Every structure is written in C-alpha cells, then in structure tokens.
C-alpha cells in the first residue's frame, strides 16, 4: 500500500471529508505507537561526506538480493520456485477477452497491479540493464535481470489486447465511492497469501481487469507501457531480436493511442481508476508521452522519434521535481543526454541534480545523518532513484571531472546510508541489523505457514498489524520505506510509512547498486549466489526445492561456472529454450517436468474459475452471483506446489467485507457487486 502525501492532500480536496480515517491513523501512530522508535542516538554527521575509495559494502550481494525481492512479488504460474514460501498465484487473472494477465509482480503487500507504478517499475528495471548491463553481466546478474524483464513484459504484452483496449489495472483494491466511512476494501482487506486469494475472495470476485480505451483514456499508463516495451527491447535485442522487434512495434502503437486519445486516469469515471487516483495520483501525462517517445528513439535511433520526444519534452514543465513512478522529468534529461549527447539535456540534467548537490541552488533537505529527504514516504527509495540517475550521468562522463565526482559522492552517500552507515540497514536480509517486520503479507502469512488460515480477515489483519512476531520468512532484498526526517524509525508493521516495501522502491535502487559496481570496478566483486541464504526450504511444510544441476552456480553453492558468460544460471537456459521446457523442468522437478511445462503455457487458465463455498451466506444481503458467472472450481493442479502435509486450505469468503457491514451497507455492497458482475462477465 502506498499512501503518498499527495493522496492525503488530494483526499482532502476531493470532498472535504471530515473523517479522513487514514490521515487520523497516521497522526495517531506518531503519538501513540505500540512500539518505541528504535534507533541509537547517534550524533549528526560532521562536515562534508567523503565517499570511500574502496567499496564499503558488497554491492554484488545487494544486487543479488534486490533481484530476489522480485521473486517474492511474482504473480502467476511459476516456472520454478525460488523460495519455499511463494508458489503459484493469480490463478484467475484473465481479462475480458481471455487475456492471460497472471504474470508480472504484485505492487507491495497486496496483490494489485496498478498500471503506472507497475509500468514504471518495468521501464526502470530495463533502464538499469541499458546503462549498467555490463556490470551486471560481470557479476552474473544480467541473466536474472533479463528473466525478470521478460516476466514483466509478458504481462504488458498480454495487457495490450489491441490498439484500443489495454488493461490499465488488474485487481480490485476497493469498491464504491472514495470514502473510508464504509469499508469496501477488497484486496487491501485480504491479509493472507496470494496463493489463496481466489479461495478467500468473497463470492468469487476475481482480479478484475480495468481497460483503457479511447473513451476512458490514460496517456500516462499507456505512455509508460510504451516506454517499458521500448526499453526492454534494447535490453533484450542481443538475445532475442524478434521479441525486441515486436516490443518496438507495440511501443509505437501504444504511443499512438496515448497521444491521439489524451487524458488521465485521474479524471476517469471508472471506479477502479478513482481508487488508483486515491492511492497513486498521477500529476501529468505529458512527461510519459515524452518518456515513451524518448525510449522509442533510444530503441530505434530514428530521428523522427527524437523530434517527437523533444516536442513533448519541451512541454513537460514539471521536469524539475522528484524522479518516481509519477514524475519522469529528471530521467528524461538523463536518458536523452545518454542517447543524443546534446548540450541542452546535459544542462537541464545538471540543473536538476543541483537541487540535491551542495551548491547555491540546493533545495533538498538532508537528515542529520545525510539521507536526502525527498519524500516522507519511501525516503530511501526516492533518494535511490536520484542516485541511479546521477550514476548513469557520471558514467556518461567516464566518472571524470568535478561534476561526476559530486554525483558519485551523492550516490555513495545515499546508498551507503541505506545499507548501514547509520547502524541500520534498510534492506531486508542485508547486514546484521535490518527490518524484522516489513509491511508485507506473504512473508508473514505464507501459504506454507498461515496459522490464522480460516479466521475472519479482521482478526488476521489485527494480528498482522499489531503482533510483535517477526516475519516468518526473510524478504531478502526488499528496500523498506525509510526513516523520518530526524533519522528515526519504527521496525513495525503497523507503522507502514516506515516499513512498507514496494516493487517501485527497489527498481532504480537495483540500478544504483549496479552503478556502484561499475564505478568501483567489477573486479572488486565476486558474483553472489543463493549459497547460505535461508529461502525457507527447511520449513516443515516446505515442498522439495528445485534440484538445480551441477552447472548452475547462481541458485546453489556450486563453484566453477565461467564468470560473466550468462551460463551460471539454469533458469536462463530454461527461459532461452522454451521448446525443451519439458526436459529442462524435469531436471528441476524429477518426474514432473511435462506437467509443469503444460501449466506454464497458461492456456488452461481461461477455463479455470473459483470454487463455490458453503460460507457465502456470511455476506448478508449480497446477491447470488448471476448465472452467467462461470461455474466455480479450482483445478487440483493448483495445489501442486503445496506440500502433501498441507491440508487444502478452507475457502474463506467471510472477509471483513462480510463481518463489518450493517444491513444497509450490505445491501449497498450487494448492489455494487451485482453491478460489478454484470460489467465483468
Ligand atoms: C561530530 O562532532 C561532535 C563534536 O565534535 C562529536 O561529538 C561527534 O561525535 C561527531 N560526529 C561524528 C559522526 O563524527
Ligand atoms: C479491440 O477489441 C474490442 C473488443 O473486441 C473491439 O471493440 C475494438 O474494436 C478492437 N479494436 C481494434 C483496434 O481492433
Ligand atoms: C505449517 O507450519 C506451521 C508452523 O510449523 C503450522 O502452524 C501450520 O499449521 C502448518 N500448516 C499450514 C497449512 O500452514
């Protein structure tokens, strides 16, 4: 969940609600927290920060773990399990036209796929490879990066149903008007593992796809998807030119949709986009149009696209603020400079950076211990975004000269702050003092360890938020929100403005880490592997881990793989040889290769639907689903990843949707859901 300050402001604007429960909660948290702020009273930093001459942290380890975090966020039928506590999910993620929307990653603790933050995460992960792919390759992380991009790309390509109908969002965070007076949260009020979402969700409400069309435009989401596709094409071209060509073609068609039917989801009448606006309000779409055209230029070198990019770039007046899923301005200067070397972009990039660097135009405040404090929510992620841009620029200057030195210093200071310079690491599973309670559902309530399975979701929520039990599984690599402006923080799930993790916090961060590997020199680092990581396989409920073969040095303790040749990872081989999936998967899962290969192809998903349960009556007043709602049955194969010792989970439909409602609200909910069903099916 991401509630930015912008959302709060917008929330107030929207209707002048007096009982803004969310804002109240946040204020209360500060005064009356159940757990003390934990940090040693370290004195402030004195003088100017000086970047260490040799790497202070093992950035190859951070990079490996950062990519691992995206496995924790993965949605869909998995080719293989990276960690024991995540399995197949998004089992009923099908669009209106039968599109398989199961892949990609979940946004944060929840199972939503919001168009703009998702699209940007993919674009940025590709940007990382475009700039620092060589550094990744030399520490054997490039194959992993490309595999990840493919998983994101599969979702985007399927979301692009045709040139007028594109899935802009998957999932239902909440239903009905934007008011927390009535609890109509759907996804956000589910506290169990994504693997069991379909069994829980009331009356068979699946992950709903919301479309962007000429009548319901979103130039920012479509522009971002287009940018992502063009960026991925650059990263992937050396390995699959046909895929790259298809992505470029799609990127151009999406740009056409975004520019010919301009508009923002912020003004959409679709309830799903109104909720998107509540959680992720987009400021403008002009920057995404420039971003899309700039990436198409980068992918094609076609001067016509540079002209289009410049036309939109010059209109993007907000180019001097944060760099994030929302604002592309800072990155536009850098991207366009990298691919054109034109002075205008250099000048603008430096003007942008001077907001952060020590100079008379510096406006960004720092915490006493040196974190550039750009946004209250996700302060570590935001400073990492700028660190990435500066490292990309510094690389373009060959890391030479005073400006490059300043940029590297900024990046090192920001990244090292987050890795432990303050005595606390903001990266889960890195260092010896790191967050024990990230705001993340599946590492706490996993499908292999969910003690409260079967309870009402209110109780599960209370336990999730208030219990002092640490996460049951280590969410390696997740970048947590960040400290307060005075460097203090809570290691506590109930204070999620500190402890939230999201796919977007980790994206540019991963690139900044690769940048530091590049800056210090790849020979200073050894490839890092899963050897010694606790991925949950020793848990009594865990299934057997994949049997990685002897020539895999990425997922194992095996030694002796040739370094920097893309061959240390068996999963890369699997990805590059789809025609041999059966036999390759059979190595990982002896005797089960063909079954898994079949499931992976995705086609059976469309037929699949949800089990009807005896508990439906709990939602008083809600109508029976209309007849055309497909017959509900979960395929037995869905449980294939669960260990035999696990009983098939009891389907729970009585979420807080059921228990919190009085009769009036139940009726309202009933009609909303009826409306939704008729719209959906
Ligand atoms: C900063 O200077 C003060 C006063 O000299 C000193 O007590 C403190 O330890 C210094 N802080 C650091 C981080 O070196
Ligand atoms: C896309 O599909 C929808 C639904 O079938 C259809 O109405 C629309 O005309 C299609 N658009 C194009 C460009 O083919
Ligand atoms: C799995 O393990 C935990 C703890 O060992 C146990 O409490 C739980 O009941 C087991 N089963 C499931 C399905 O979570």
pLDDT band at 181 (very low <50, low <70, confident <90, very high): low
State the pLDDT at residue 38. Answer: 65
Which of the residues 144, 195, 198, 500 is marked catalytic? 500
User: What is the percent of the chain with per-residue pLDDT over 70, rounded to a whole number?
Assistant: 81
- Asked whether 522 lines ligand 1 (CB < 6 A), one says no
What is the average pLDDT score of the chain?
A: 84
CA distance 589 to 571: 13
Q: 453 lies in a domain? A: no
Rounded average pLDDT over 632-661: 31
**Would you state the structure tokens that stand for residue 153, as one six-digit string?**
């790309």
- Of all protein residues, the one whose alpha carbon is nearest to atom 9 of ligand 2 is 164
Using the atom order of ligand 2, give the atom closest to the CA of residue 163: 13
pLDDT band at 318 (very low <50, low <70, confident <90, very high): low
Q: 151 lies in a domain? A: no
**Would you state the structure tokens that stand for residue 630, as one six-digit string?**
């497909």
pLDDT at 624 over 70: no
**Would you state the structure tokens that stand for residue 464, as one six-digit string?**
């999730």
- 491 carries an active-site annotation: yes
- Ligand 2: residues within 6 Å at CB? 162-165
State the pLDDT at residue 45. Answer: 82
Note the pLDDT tens digit of each residue in 97-142. Answer: 999 999 999 999 999 999 999 999 999 999 999 999 999 999 999 9
pLDDT band at 650 (very low <50, low <70, confident <90, very high): very low
pLDDT band at 319 (very low <50, low <70, confident <90, very high): low
Asked if residues 678 and 640 have their Cβ atoms less than 8 Å apart, the reply is no
- The ligand that comes nearest to the alpha carbon of residue 449 is 3
Rounded average pLDDT over 167-179: 88
Rounded average pLDDT over 68-85: 97
Q: 240 lies in a domain? A: no
State the pLDDT at residue 25. Answer: 35
Q: 469 lies in a domain? A: no
Distance 624 CA to ligand 2 centre (A): 31
Q: Which of 122-126, 420-424, 496-500 has the highest mean pLDDT?
A: 122-126
Distance 50 CA to ligand 1 centre (A): 15
Q: 308 lies in a domain? A: no
Going by C-alpha positions, the residue among 316, 315, 293, 318 that lies closest to residue 306 is 293
Rounded average pLDDT over 352-376: 92
- Asked whether 604 lines ligand 3 (CB < 6 A), one says no
Distance 377 CA to ligand 1 centre (A): 28
Using the atom order of ligand 1, give the atom closest to the CA of residue 369: 13
Distance 470 CA to ligand 3 centre (A): 16
- The residue segments making up the domain with residue 631 are 566-680
Going by C-alpha positions, the residue among 176, 203, 197, 207 that lies closest to residue 113 is 207
Going by C-alpha positions, the residue among 168, 163, 155 that lies closest to residue 257 is 163
pLDDT at 610 over 90: no
**Would you state the structure tokens that stand for residue 475, as one six-digit string?**
């969410």
Domains in the chain, number: 1
- Of all protein residues, the one whose alpha carbon is nearest to atom 2 of ligand 3 is 449
- The ligand that comes nearest to the alpha carbon of residue 193 is 3
Rounded average pLDDT over 74-90: 97
- The ligand that comes nearest to the alpha carbon of residue 421 is 1
Q: 291 lies in a domain? A: no
Q: 615 lies in a domain? A: yes
Asked if residues 389 and 31 have their Cβ atoms less than 8 Å apart, the reply is no
State the pLDDT at residue 376. Answer: 83
Note the pLDDT tens digit of each residue in 16-66. Answer: 222 323 333 333 344 444 455 666 567 888 888 999 999 999 999 999 999
Q: 667 lies in a domain? A: yes
User: Residue-wise over 639-669: b if at least 16 C-beta within 10 A, else e?
Assistant: bbbbeeebeebebbbbbbbbebbeeebbebb
Q: Which position has the higher pLDDT, 35 or 12?
A: 35
Distance 162 CA to ligand 2 centre (A): 6
Using the atom order of ligand 2, give the atom closest to the CA of residue 96: 4
Asked if residues 656 and 189 have their Cβ atoms less than 8 Å apart, the reply is yes
């Amino acid at each position: 969940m991401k509630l930015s300050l912008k959302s709060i402001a917008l929330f107030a604007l929207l209707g002048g609600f007096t009982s803004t429960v969310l804002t109240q909660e946040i204020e209360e948290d500060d005064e009356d927290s159940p757990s003390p702020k934990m940090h040693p009273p370290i004195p402030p930093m004195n003088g100017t920060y000086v970047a260490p001459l040799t790497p202070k942290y093992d950035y190859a380890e951070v990079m490996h773990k950062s990519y691992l975090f995206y496995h924790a966020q993965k949605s869909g039928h998995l080719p293989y399990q990276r960690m024991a506590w995540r399995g197949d999910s998004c089992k009923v993620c099908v669009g209106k036209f039968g599109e398989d929307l199961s892949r990609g990653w979940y946004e944060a603790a929840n199972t939503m796929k919001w168009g703009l933050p998702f699209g940007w995460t993919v674009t940025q992960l590709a940007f990382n490879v475009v700039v620092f792919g060589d550094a990744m390759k030399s520490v054997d992380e490039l194959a992993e990066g490309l595999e990840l991009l493919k998983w994101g790309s599969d979702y985007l390509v399927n979301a692009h149903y045709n040139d007028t109908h594109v899935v802009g969002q998957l999932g239902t965070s909440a239903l009905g008007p934007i008011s927390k007076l009535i609890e109509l949260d759907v996804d956000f009020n589910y506290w169990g593992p994504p693997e069991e979402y379909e069994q829980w969700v009331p009356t068979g409400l699946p992950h709903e796809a919301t479309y962007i069309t000429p009548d319901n435009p979103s130039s920012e989401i479509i522009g971002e998807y287009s940018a992502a596709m063009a960026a991925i094409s650059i990263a992937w071209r050396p390995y699959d030119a046909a895929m790259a060509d298809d992505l470029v073609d799609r990127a151009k068609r999406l740009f056409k949709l975004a520019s010919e039917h301009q508009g923002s989801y912020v003004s959409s009448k679709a309830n799903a986009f109104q909720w998107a606006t509540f959680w992720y309000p987009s400021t403008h779409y002009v920057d995404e149009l420039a971003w899309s055209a700039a990436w198409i230029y980068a992918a094609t070198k076609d001067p016509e696209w540079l002209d289009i990019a410049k036309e939109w770039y010059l209109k993007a007046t907000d180019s001097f603020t944060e760099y994030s899923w929302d604002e592309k301005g800072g990155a536009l200067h850098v991207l366009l400079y990298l691919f054109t070397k034109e002075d205008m972009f250099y000048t603008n990039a430096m003007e942008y950076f001077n907001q952060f660097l020590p100079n008379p135009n510096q406006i960004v405040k720092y915490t006493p211990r040196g974190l550039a404090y750009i946004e209250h929510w996700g302060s570590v992620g935001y400073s990492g975004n700028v660190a990435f841009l500066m490292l990309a620029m510094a690389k373009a200057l060959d890391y030479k000269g005073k400006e490059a030195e300043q940029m590297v210093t900024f990046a090192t200071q920001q990244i090292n702050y987050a890795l432990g310079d303050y005595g606390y690491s903001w990266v889960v599973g890195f260092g010896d003092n790191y967050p024990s309670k990230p705001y993340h559902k599946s590492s706490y309530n996993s499908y292999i360890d969910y003690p409260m399975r079967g309870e009402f979701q209110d109780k599960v929520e209370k336990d999730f938020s208030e219990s002092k039990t640490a996460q049951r599984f280590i969410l390696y690599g997740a970048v947590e929100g960040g400290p307060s402006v005075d460097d203090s923080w809570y290691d506590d799930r109930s204070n999620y403005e500190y402890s939230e993790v999201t796919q977007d916090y980790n994206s540019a961060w991963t690139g900044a880490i690769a940048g530091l590997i590049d800056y210090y020199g790849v020979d200073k680092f050894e490839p890092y592997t899963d050897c010694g990581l606790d991925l949950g396989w020793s848990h009594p409920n865990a299934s057997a881990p994949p049997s990685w073969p002897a020539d895999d040095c990425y997922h194992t303790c095996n030694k002796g793989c040739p370094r920097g040749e893309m061959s240390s990872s068996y999963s890369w081989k699997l990805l590059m040889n789809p025609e041999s999936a059966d036999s390759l998967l059979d190595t990982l899962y002896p005797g089960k290769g063909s079954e898994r290969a079949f499931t992976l192809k995705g086609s059976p998903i469309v037929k699949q639907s949800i089990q009807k349960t005896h508990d439906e009556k709990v939602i008083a007043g809600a109508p029976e689903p209309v007849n055309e709602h497909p017959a509900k049955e979960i395929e037995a194969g869905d449980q294939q990843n669960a260990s035999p010792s696990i009983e098939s989970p009891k389907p729970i439909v009585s979420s807080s949707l059921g228990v919190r409602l009085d009769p009036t609200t139940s009726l309202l909910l009933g009609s909303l859901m009826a409306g939704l069903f008729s719209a959906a099916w």
